[in-house]
A = this chain, B = another copy of it.
Amino acid sequence: MKFGIFGGARRGLHDITGDSTGYRDFIDYIRAADENGFHNVFLTEHHFTGQESLSASLNLLSYLAACTKNIRLGTAVAVLPWHNPVLLAEQVATLDVLSDGRVDLGVGRGYRKPEFDAFCVPMSEAWDRYNECLEVMLKAWNTKGRFSHEGKFFRFKNILVEPTPIQKPHPPIWVAAGSPDSIARVADNNYSLLLDQLASDAQVEQRSTAYLDAMAVRGHTRDASRIGVARALHLVKNEDERNAAWARRATSVKNIADLARRPGVVLDERFELDMKEAAMIGTPDEIIERLNALAARGVDNVLLLNVSATRKFLEFFAREIMPHVNATPLKRVANA
């Protein structure tokens, strides 16, 4: 099993605080991840939160490219409706060059109502803006020579986007999906899949299988390493810490739900599932058991939303937990 870091956006957790010291701590945390065999890091992008959330994720990743060697550098996600597609393609490609081909480009259409309001973009335009932005970026990377674009939101004439990425024709695209339809679309495009931290282990298995099946049907390799499974992680030593961790988790999940609040979305059932099954809260032995259960369901890349974002924690994790987790996904999911 490959482990990754999911860089969340809540202050005081794994969040990046706005002062220089906060950034230094986070940078040291990712350096430690790199040095301790973690496979990937995915950084979030949020705007105007008032909680000093990370906004310019590609700039922090560019810095991290200089102080890490092997860890893959990802966005989860770059929220396309806020970006000019050619500027974003230039930034991503530059990061790919700077990191010698370590970029994983997670993209999304945004889900936070306050961000849409602040950017004065109607949420009803999210899909159109997302689709047009991604279309232009892919055209920039897949076209030999110059091209033009006449869209609803952007126009470009006779352009050629530089630099070209190191990964050819472009860094892997990662997309978050949960429903059967959206998973099918991810496979249609041969993108990699991000599964969210709220889905239960059983849902993760179901969705992974759906993705791998859909990929196989479309002639692509069944490759479980192209599925990143986000999991909240909180190591505890005793029952008091366990109870405190669950209480904290309840608040986190409520915050996530509040930020995505919009008509028609019911979160109660999901919330319950998560409280019981999705978060990994426990002693090291219990966490090893949870990770082996995920491995048994075919999971090959767990992305940790880790409440203890320190070098010391990652060294402990690499030493005491990683070696005890099954490295081979079961045939049932990973092979045709």
When C-beta atoms are compared, the residue in chain B nearest to A163 turns out to be B18
A118 touches B156 (CB 8 A): yes
* A67 beta carbon closer than 8 Å to chain B: yes
Closest 8 CB pairs of A and B: A66-B66, A62-B62, A18-B163, A56-B94, A120-B155, A55-B90, A59-B62, A56-B91
- Neighbour of A160 across the interface among B19, B48, B63, CB < 8 A: B48
A84 to chain B, nearest CB (A): 7
Stretch touching chain B among A95-103, A130-138, A296-304, A309-317: A95-103
> Given that A59-B98, A94-B60, A120-B155 are known contacts, is A18 also in contact with B49, CB under 8 Å in the complex?
no
When C-beta atoms are compared, the residue in chain B nearest to A150 turns out to be B120
When C-beta atoms are compared, the residue in chain B nearest to A17 turns out to be B163
- Neighbour of A159 across the interface among B48, B98, B162, B164, CB < 8 A: B48
Q: How far is the CA of A240 from the CA of B118 in the complex (A)?
A: 61
B47 touches A86 (CB 8 A): yes
* A306 beta carbon closer than 8 Å to chain B: no
**Which residues of A145-198 are within 8 A (CB) of B?**
146, 155-164, 166
* Chain B residues whose C-beta falls within 8 Å of the C-beta of A23 in the assembled complex: 97-98
A277 to chain B, nearest CB (A): 33
Q: How far is the CA of A63 from the CA of B60 in the complex (A)?
A: 9
Q: How far is the CA of A161 from the CA of B145 in the complex (A)?
A: 37
A157 touches B59 (CB 8 A): no
5 pairs, CB–CB < 8 Å, chain A vs chain B: A47-B162, A55-B87, A55-B162, A56-B91, A65-B66
> Given that A20-B166, A163-B18, A166-B20 are known contacts, is A59 also in contact with B158, CB under 8 Å in the complex?
no
**Which residues of A98-117 are within 8 A (CB) of B?**
98, 100, 117
* A218 beta carbon closer than 8 Å to chain B: no
* A248 beta carbon closer than 8 Å to chain B: no
> Given that A120-B157, A155-B120 are known contacts, is A94 also in contact with B163, CB under 8 Å in the complex?
no
* A25 beta carbon closer than 8 Å to chain B: no
A20 touches B100 (CB 8 A): yes
* A53 beta carbon closer than 8 Å to chain B: yes
* Chain B residues whose C-beta falls within 8 Å of the C-beta of A20 in the assembled complex: 97, 100, 166
* Chain B residues whose C-beta falls within 8 Å of the C-beta of A86 in the assembled complex: 47
* A263 beta carbon closer than 8 Å to chain B: no
* A83 beta carbon closer than 8 Å to chain B: yes
* Chain B residues whose C-beta falls within 8 Å of the C-beta of A67 in the assembled complex: 66-67
A164 touches B18 (CB 8 A): yes
Q: How far is the CA of A47 from the CA of B91 in the complex (A)?
A: 12
Known: A56-B95, A66-B67, A84-B84. 17 other contacts (CB 8 A): A18-B164, A19-B97, A19-B163, A47-B86, A50-B162, A52-B162, A55-B90, A58-B59, A59-B59, A59-B94, A62-B63, A63-B66, A64-B66, A65-B66, A83-B87, A118-B157, A120-B156
